[in-house]
Amino acid sequence: MTLHAPNIRPIIRALDEAAINRIAAGEVVERPASAVKELVENALDAGAKRIAVEYSAGGKVLIRVTDDGCGMTPEDLPLAVARHATSKIDGSDLLNIRSFGFRGEALASLGSVGRLTLTSRADGHVGASLTIAGGRLGQARPAAASRGTTVELRDLFYATPARLKFLRTDRAEAQAIAEVIKRLAMAEPHVGFTLTEITEEPPRTIFRADPLTGDLFDALHGRLAHVLGRDFIDNALKIDVERDGLRLTGYAALPTYSRGSSVQQFVCVNGRPVLDRTLLGALRVAYYDFLSRDRHPAAVLNLICDPERVDVNVHPAKSEVRFREPEAARSLFITGLRTALTQAGHRASSTVADATLAAMRPEPTMQASIAYPRIYQMDRPSSAALGRAYAYQAPEAQGFAEAPSARFEPARTDDTNTPLGAARAQLHENYIIAQTATGMVIVDQHAAHERLVYERLKRQMAETGIKAQALLIPEIVELSASDAIRLLEIAQDLTALGLTIEPFGGNAIAVREIPAILGNTSAAALLRDVLDELTDLGQSHSLQSKMEAILSRMACHGSIRSGRQMRAEEMNALLREMEATPHSGQCNHGRPTYVELKLHDIERLFGRR
């Protein structure tokens, strides 16, 4: 289908101002949340310390943003709604942007597709109000106003009704508005935000965050606890690294506090919330070694750099940026986050213990709902007194049969002051029970040792290469033609991992050496695990990532298996190695390797507190 008749030359004509503004609005204002974002960013640029946002019908009927910023004079108002008029830059340097806005398009675009009213007053000037509807500009009139600006947008897209058909439900649009406000609230913890829904009922406050004082990290800590919840901040690591003129600040959660989606990933550049693929990809890579592929890290991070090193003028909504040295920014993200995760040592998230306690609590009953007085607790007896009591209460040796699913160790006081305590028992040949000074620890022996073996393999590979153990008789493994080809293509790389293979005719492969740390393991099972890992990774990862993923699979073969009985000295050695090994709080797939229960929580389970 042709758009014009054949052999007729189309005429080039200049569009009128109203059409230009409506086209610009299509780029800048995609939905009510986009309008809120532009207006709130204007308020922040004006130096506001408190910003109130009100809306109705998901922002389709009303959006009102009130701030206590510097305000505007009556003479400023007509310029404020003119296209490409701005107070943010003078136009001489588009690579030195230090404000949220700079194009001067937002108000003109909003006024072209809705009914926009500006009311403002600057110090030393009278208040004034101006209306623009469907692109038609009214006259500035005197108005009663306090210092600051109120922007009221009614009937969004009334001038372009076709756009209304593409909007989602009122609830979905309202959720998008709330998400915008929360992102900006996390980027600006020293500013107060209020979000209110105007309905036929009394107005309903959706979100409120008072301005916080203190330095950047104190304010951010309080704001994140309010916006994302106490669980996030209690399980987050402080990030503050600087290199080559770039600084990364914020908080990143422990791997065991992972999410099922990327909903808790917030990245800013110089305080501007962005959705940048380079930085979000770097965040994923930083956690690659600690999470399974269906889990996502949680983090709130701000990359600070000279504005001339980043171009924010690459997307109409300013949600994407382009770095002059993208690899430097990516590298800082990865190394900064990995350093923080390493320094966290064996720490696991507190939510693991919370979930365990929740699972152990009995179902509520009618009787449980009755309030009983707290039972008085005597002071806890000394270790010596406890030892005498246990000896007195112990059953006669000849009449005591040890349960087949548990191995108990005599009570000792040594090692209980260490972070993971002293081993006391092994249950079901897989779970180590350890006593600490303040409670108890339950360790998954297979998951924990798998992480320890993996970290040893990585250290060996980085320092001297992984030591190989030659097989007395090479193991011949029959594979499909495609699988044999895939393995032989990376045979040289596998040799660096201590796994030496070579073709043996047809589709068979001879395994001549395996990593020494794995001990006596099945070469055929090891090769198939390597193939599974290559299939899972596909072609989207670097060779280094593939090698580390293969090491992770190998570590599973060299770890203590579930079902193996361990002696007390073996269990304690495992606990001490966990304490000395970074990342031992989670297995190679991001699951916790241990659960710590505090004594006061255990006592609460039994109604003793």
Domain locations in the chain as residue ranges: 17-209, 216-344, 345-362+405-609
Q: What is the pLDDT of residues 179-234, one digit of tens each?
A: 999 999 999 999 999 999 998 778 999 999 999 998 989 999 999 999 999 999 99
pLDDT recorded at residue 366: 45
* pLDDT of amino acid 410: 56
The Cα 304–Cα 314 span in angstroms is 18
Torsions phi, psi of 99, nearest 5? -130, 165
Q: What is the mean pLDDT of residues 265-272?
A: 92
The pLDDT score that the predictor gives to residue 356 is 74
Token pair, residue 50, equals: 């408190």
- For residue 491, pLDDT over 60 is answered with yes
Cα 17 from chain centre:
43
Beta bridge partners of 236: 253
CB within 8 Å of 1: residues ≥ 6 apart: none
Residue type, 441: V
The most confident of 131-145, 173-187, 301-315, 453-467, by mean pLDDT: 173-187
- Give the CA distances from residue 135 to residues 105, 158, 366, in Å, rounded to whole numbers and listed in that order: 13, 11, 66
pLDDT in tens, 8-52: 777 766 656 665 555 555 456 788 999 999 999 989 988 999 999
Q: Cβ contacts of residue 579 below 8 Å, gap of 6+? A: 345, 346, 418, 419, 420
Query: Domain 345-362+405-609 has what CATH class?
Result: alpha beta
Planar angle of CA 70, 73, 79, nearest 5 degrees: 105
Per the listing, tokens 């609005």 go with 25
User: Would you place residue 316 in the very low, low, confident or very high pLDDT band (cuts 50, 70, 90)?
Assistant: low
> Can you give the pLDDT at residue 78?
87
Neighbours of 329 (CB within 10 A): 23
Instruction: Give pLDDT, residue 371.
Output: 45
pLDDT at 90: 42
**516-526 confidence digits (pLDDT tens):** 877 777 888 88
Residue 92 has pLDDT above 60, yes or no: no
Provide the β-strand partners of residue 243.
246
The torsion angles phi and psi of 268, rounded to 5 degrees, stand at -120, 150
Task: Give CA–CA dist 600/609, Å, rounded.
Answer: 7
CB 232 within 8 A of CB 239: no
Fold of 216-344: Ribosomal Protein S5; domain 2 (3.30.230)
Residue whose C-alpha is closest to residue 283's, from 326, 319, 331, 235: 331
Please state the φ and ψ torsions of residue 83, each to the nearest 5 degrees.
-70, 135
Q: Are 319 and 275 in contact (CB under 8 A)?
A: yes
The second-level CATH assignment, the architecture, of 17-209 is: 2-Layer Sandwich (3.30)
- Please state, rounded to an integer, the average pLDDT across all residues of the chain: 82
3-state secondary structure of 483: helix
Q: Are 487 and 479 in contact (CB under 8 A)?
A: yes
Number of continuous H segments (helices) and E segments (strands) in the chain: 19, 24
